[in-house]
Amino acid sequence: MPELPEVEIVRRSLDKKIKQKKVIKVIIRNRNLRYKVPSNFATFLKNQKIKKVKRISKYLILYLSNKSYCVLHLGMSGTIHIIENKKKKFFTNTSFYSSPLLPKKHNHLEIIFENFKVVYNDPRRFGFFQIIEDEKLLTKRFSHLGPEPFDSKFNENYLMHFFNKKEKKIKNFLLDQNFVSGIGNIYASEILFLSKINPNKKAKLINQIECKEIIKNSKKVLSEAIDKGGSSIRDFKNILGKEGNFQKNFNVYQRQGLACKRNLCTGFIKKKNISNRSSFYCNNCQK
């Protein structure tokens, strides 16, 4: 599943392309996504101008000219493709973890603009579109999410309060979107490595210094991933034909059995399942 950095890259691509553009029409080929595409979706979007594209956690938000919103979540396998009417681009994919070209199957929805169209492809159909009618409802829709790592609310007091007397493992906390939104499995492993914290460690044992490290390294890892175009751990190239490069910087993720990259560390990277998710860590420097 695309994590915060990958969704941010998609947001930037979309915002650059569709900002201030008017929707001519919407074609829905399959309503049966994770949630059914609303019956009025095509008429609701028609003739709306896209004011901007924003992101909340792993969700894309289209701000519409009638002061309503369209929420898009890519799910496990959703990708967005931009198809030009006249000039043919070799790479159409603005998304991650899939073909750089528009697949022949599973193109469920098309948003048509004057000179191009945006196609939503999703083989597993875990993504969805949702209409939000006003700002109050938008705030309510995402009220369950914790702050993002870049938010000032994600601070020492917040972490210490959450971790107090909790038996839950720290890795599970970083994946809990109610605690902090946007971090997924790849980046949780990398954050804990830089913080020298074992993913199995119980939250109640995390001290104040370790909280500072988690906050600092959450920002560091996600910022670097965004700067490097995200992580391409499968067959992905973006709309410019470039792969995300952050996977070249992995310290632990998918490096089981290899030597630790930390200077002077003699440890090796281990892999362990925690709550059915693969966790990677150094057996020597992560305590």
Q: Where are the alpha helices (DSSP H) in the chain?
A: 4-18, 41-45, 135-141, 156-163, 170-175, 185-194, 208-227
Report DSSP state, residue 37.
P
Which residue among 31, 216, 261, 277 is the active-site one? 277
Which residue among 11, 55, 58, 169 is the active-site one? 58
Nearby residues of 146 by Cβ (< 8 Å), 6 or more positions away: 154, 176, 177, 178, 179, 180, 181
2 among known catalytic residues: yes
Map residue 158 onto helix, strand or coil.
Answer: helix
* Alpha-carbon distances of 140 from 7, 8, 133, 252, rounded to whole Å: 21, 22, 12, 37
Residue pointed to by tokens 């109610």: 178
Q: CB neighbours (10 Å) of residue 256?
A: 14
Residues belonging to the active site? 2-3, 58, 277
